[in-house]
Amino acid sequence: MKKFFTILVLTLIVFAPFVAGAQVQGISNCSNLQSTGLSGVVNCIVGFMNTAIGLIISAAVLYVIWGAFNMIRSEEKREEGKQTIMYGIIGIFVMVSIWGLVNILNNTFGLKQGPITDIELIKVK
């Protein structure tokens, strides 16, 4: 029972920023797909992926915390806990580095212009 409450508290701590936001941007972009056409579908997918990235990073942080609890809990699981923490930190580093690299490329080449409209999709130069 103690283990259940520990996991529940950690989950609430990790996902609290999503609850505090009161509206997840990725889901709100998908409310009127029939009236927005192809641009609405593209913006919905982009919003969903942005939300998924945040959830995956949150899960990786929870994985590191789980490794720390395993390391502290018993002598037998100390090495396993160290490996879990190490793999979790490496995973977080890789995810945040790729996310940062994509943002640097977007800002460098001016690709981040906001939502896509149907007119932009039809333009042929």
Q: What is the pLDDT of residue 93?
A: 93
Q: Is the pTM of this model over 0.85?
A: no
Mind listing the pLDDT tens digit for each residue in 36-72?
A: 667 677 777 777 777 788 888 888 898 899 888 888 8
Identity of the residue numbered 50:
N
Mind listing the pLDDT tens digit for each residue in 3-22?
A: 766 776 667 666 666 555 54
Tell me the domain boundaries of the chain.
2-122
Residues 13 and 7: their CA atoms lie apart, in Å, by: 10
Mind listing the pLDDT tens digit for each residue in 97-124?
A: 988 888 787 778 766 556 666 565 565 5
- Residue 21 DSSP class: T
